[in-house]
Chain A
């Protein structure tokens, strides 16, 4: 760690999707408990919450908010600072295993009474909305909400977006002699370097970019198109070294991989270490995401959720979050150029139940 330049602290922070994926194992016991609770406590979720929105009163905040969040995906001192400002409020984070688009939303839908807040991407938010399990924020009562760029506000309705990003192509110019400018290039070059490509271990990202390569929308709900995308991924799978969520760019740096379907911000950090790494945002499009905080319908502590969410977006807290994670942000804070969403980026949205199931089935087949 000591040889790292202070300008690139990115290696030491968690990468985007949680990624001690297997910390979720610790939560496994919790899942069992919630399964049991789901059976026994069906009545409790029926508790009416009509008063929740009006509870943004001036009195002191008391109670506990259970927040299903990616591990450490929050400002480094946000919880601490919030709790010391509001001694009666407690924020309990529950580790989330976000290795698929539909996962965390499904977990909340199965057992809404177990959570007050959840970290979701726009697709998961759409899923939760469709299930009628979103408690909208009263954004008018949140002073810092206006700092968020309107484009992201719109992309994340009823929730509060936290960060954004896009998934493009990263490769080693010194190892790959072919020029890679489009997804078609990527798909044709990968088989020429067997075992030298890493794909993201995340269903919508991979299938979405395959859809774009085939000329479809990353948000296609057409089962045929989804299946064609699946076949395209399966076609290059024999040459794929691994599906990973951790240390994707690191493999480019040490040369164990030549090409990746990678996160923009992680690649940016890697490029500072190895100038031979190139980043490509294909002109035909690429998968992008917005993600943020969502309140769960039926929460008894909407006042705390609202106050806590707004607190994360206060200038100091949000800057510290962005600096720590090194991710493209939703407030328009200054970032390295590749972090800005390119115009052709296609933000992932909820596909509806049938297409969501089709993507899940396609992913199962890709991974099997």
Chain B
């Protein structure tokens, strides 16, 4: 009895002393690949650049942040957030029925459908986006389809419009919406739907009164997963939007690769990260208040 308990205590001690060494690889990776770069970013954002030598002098200037208040940047930030919200909303509208359908399929068919949702991820994001240029251009298949359905005639000029940007955003980010929705919907006990119907609820209201409220954690996860990368998106607007509408991500990208103004780019990035963190916190609060559902 004493033997085994002291052995247990020794094991516990060993477990405690092993805890840090075991966590060390992850912590080191986290520190070097996340904490240090972010700290550098913040450091740079308070620096100043010499416009001819491009040397960064570090100090505590807020000029980079005050430049951000210029209307051109503020409007780009607002636009990026709006596009992010809009993409997330459309993804939700398209993704919810899809996820619901898949969650109510059985066995092999369900696996197959999930695979179909995931497969596009195996193709490079940029290649997928360029593919849509071919699909959406005048004389392309989408135009032919719409004409075949008598939705339009002649050259439809779909490409390089806000609409084509939306198409690009939605098709690229839809899987990120469908997967968490699927997980949430699969956990909704079908007997709850039977119960609601049994209590006199027609199918559409079963959806709004039971299925939708119960899938809120999935909806929040999906919206966050879509909206955050969508807010930072700059490839899709550049390729499918004809480069006419810069997003916040484009400006950040430009500061680092074109104008070479690292401090200003860093300030833009810091502000952007702050906005996204705020969104994440809000999302957590939204999920948290539903905790007893999960």
On whether A and B touch (CB less than 8 Å), the answer reads yes
A interface with B by C-beta (< 8 Å): 21-22, 24-25, 31-32, 35-36, 39, 97, 99-100, 102-103, 105-107, 109-110, 130-132, 195, 198, 201, 237, 240-244, 254-256, 352-354, 356-357, 360, 364-365, 367-368
* Interface membership of B54, Cβ < 8 A: yes
A99 with B40: CB separation less than 8 A: no
Q: In the assembled complex, how far is the CB of residue B130 from the closest CB belonging to chain A, in whole angstroms?
A: 9
Known: A237-B244, A367-B243. A110 touches B257 (CB 8 A): no
Chain A residues in 8 Å Cβ range of B139: 254, 256
Pick from A198, A356, A364: contact of B246, CB below 8 A: A364
Q: How far is the CA of A360 from the CA of B52 in the complex (A)?
A: 14
Stretch at the interface among B93-101, B152-160, B203-211: B152-160
Partner of A241, one of B51, B72, B160: B160
CB distance from A133 to the nearest CB of B (A): 8
Inter-subunit contact B257/A195 (CB<8 Å): no
The reply to whether A32 and B37 form a contact with Cβ atoms under 8 Å apart is yes
Closest-CB distance, A112 to chain B (whole angstroms):
10
Q: Are A365 and B72 touching (Cβ within 8 A)?
A: yes
Whole-angstrom distance between the alpha carbons of A201 and B241 in the complex? Answer: 12
Distance to closest chain B CB from A39 (angstroms): 7
User: Does chain A have a CB within 8 A of B262?
Assistant: yes
CB pair B235 A22 closer than 8 Å: yes
- Interface status of B245 (Cβ within 8 A of chain A): yes
Which residues in window 20-47 of B have CB below 8 A to A?
A: 36-37, 40
* Residues in chain B near residue A24, CB distance under 8 A: 257
Task: Chain A residues near B238: list those with CB within 8 A.
Answer: 21
Contact B54 A364 (CB under 8 A): no
Distance of B90 from chain A, by nearest CB (Å): 23
Beyond A106-B258, A244-B242, A357-B259, list 9 extra A-B contacts (CB 8 Å): A22-B235, A99-B257, A103-B258, A106-B259, A242-B243, A242-B244, A244-B243, A256-B137, A364-B246
Residue from B126, B243, B254 within 8 A of A25 (CB atoms): B126
Bound complex: CA A35 to CA B40 (Å): 9
Bound-state Cα–Cα, A282 to B30, Å? 57
The prevalent SS among residues of B at the interface is loop
A109–B54 touching, CB < 8 Å: yes
Residue contacts A-B, CB under 8 angstroms, 11 given:
A25-B126, A36-B37, A97-B257, A100-B258, A109-B260, A240-B244, A242-B242, A255-B138, A256-B157, A368-B72, A368-B246
In the complex, whether B75 has a CB less than 8 A from a CB of chain A is yes
Q: How many Å from the CB of B189 to the closest CB on chain A? A: 44
Given the interface contacts A32-B37, A131-B54, does A110 sit within 8 Å of B260 by beta carbon? yes
Instruction: Output the least CB separation between A96 and chain B (Å).
Output: 9
| Closest chain A CB from B182 CB (angstroms) | 29
Complex: A364 Cα to B261 Cα, angstroms:
13
Which residues 78-108 of B have a CB within 8 angstroms of A? none
Please measure, in the bound complex, the distance between the C-alpha atom of A35 and the C-alpha atom of B44, giving whole angstroms. Answer: 10
The 10 residue pairs across chains A and B that have the minimum distance between CB atoms: A106-B260, A242-B242, A353-B51, A243-B243, A100-B258, A103-B258, A109-B54, A360-B259, A242-B160, A353-B52
Contact of A31 with B257 in the complex, beta carbons under 8 Å: yes
Is A110 in contact with B262, judged by CB distance below 8 angstroms?
A: yes
Q: Report the nearest A residue to B240, measured CB to CB.
A: A242
Q: Which residue of B lies closest to A255 (CB)?
A: B138
B66 contacts A by Cβ under 8 Å: no
Q: Are B246 and A367 in contact (CB under 8 A)?
A: yes
| B251 interface residue per 8 A CB criterion | yes
How many whole Å from A32's CB to the nearest CB in chain B? 7
A353: chain B residues at CB < 8 Å are 51-52
Which range contains the number of B residues in contact with the other chain? 35 or more
Does B138 contact A31, Cβ atoms closer than 8 Å?
no
Query: What CA separation (Å) do A237 and B246 show in the bound complex?
Result: 13
Contacts of A32 in B (CB 8 A): 37
Report the separation of the CA atoms of residues A242 and B243 in the bound assembly, to the nearest whole angstrom: 6
Beyond A131-B52, A364-B254, whether A103 also contacts B260 by CB under 8 A is yes
- B201 sits at the interface (CB 8 A): no
Q: Which residue of B lies closest to A128 (CB)?
A: B54
CB-defined contacts of A39 to chain B, threshold 8 Å:
40
Contacts of B40 in A (CB 8 A): 35-36, 39
Pairwise interchain contact B155-A256, C-beta atoms closer than 8 A: yes
How long is the Cα–Cα vector from A244 to B239 in the complex, in angstroms?
Answer: 8
Shortest A314–chain B CB gap in Å is 33
Tell me, rounded to whole Å, the shortest Cβ–Cβ distance linking A268 to chain B: 23
| B139, B242, B258 — most chain A CB neighbours (10 Å) | B258
**What chain B residues lie within 8 Å of A106 (beta carbons)?**
54, 258-260
In the assembled complex, which residues on chain A have CB atoms less than 8 Å from the CB atom of B36? 36
Q: B53 near A368 (CB under 8 angstroms)?
A: no
By the criterion CB–CB under 8 Å, are A107 and B257 in contact? yes
The answer to whether A102 and B259 have CB atoms under 8 Å apart is yes
* Docked-complex contact A367 and B242, CB < 8 angstroms: no
Whether the Cβ atoms of B254 and A107 lie closer than 8 Å is no
Note all chain A residues with C-beta closer than 8 A to B159. Answer: 242, 256
Task: Tell me whether A368 and B75 are in contact in the complex, defined as CB-CB below 8 angstroms, given that A242-B243, A243-B242 are known contacts.
Answer: yes
Which residues from chain A contact B280 at a C-beta distance below 8 Å? none
For window 224-250 of B, CB contacts with A under 8 Å fall at: 235, 238-239, 241-246, 250
Q: Are B244 and A243 in contact (CB under 8 A)?
A: yes
Cα of A255 to Cα of B139 in the assembled complex, Å = 10
A244 to B133, CA, bound (A): 12
Q: Which residues of B contact A242 (CB under 8 A)?
A: 159-160, 241-244
CA–CA, A221 and B256, complex, Å: 23
If A243-B242, A368-B72 touch, whether A22 touches B256 (CB-CB below 8 Å) is no
Question: B235 contacts which chain A residues (CB < 8 A)?
Answer: 22, 25
Question: Are B157 and A364 in contact, CB atoms less than 8 angstroms apart?
Answer: no
B-chain residues with CB within 8 Å of residue A105 when the two chains form the complex: 260
User: How far is B37's CA from A241's CA once the two chains are assembled, in angstroms?
Assistant: 38
Task: Give bound CA distance, A255 to B243, whole Å.
Answer: 20
- The residue among A22, A132, A241, A360 with the most chain B CB atoms within 10 A of its own CB is A22
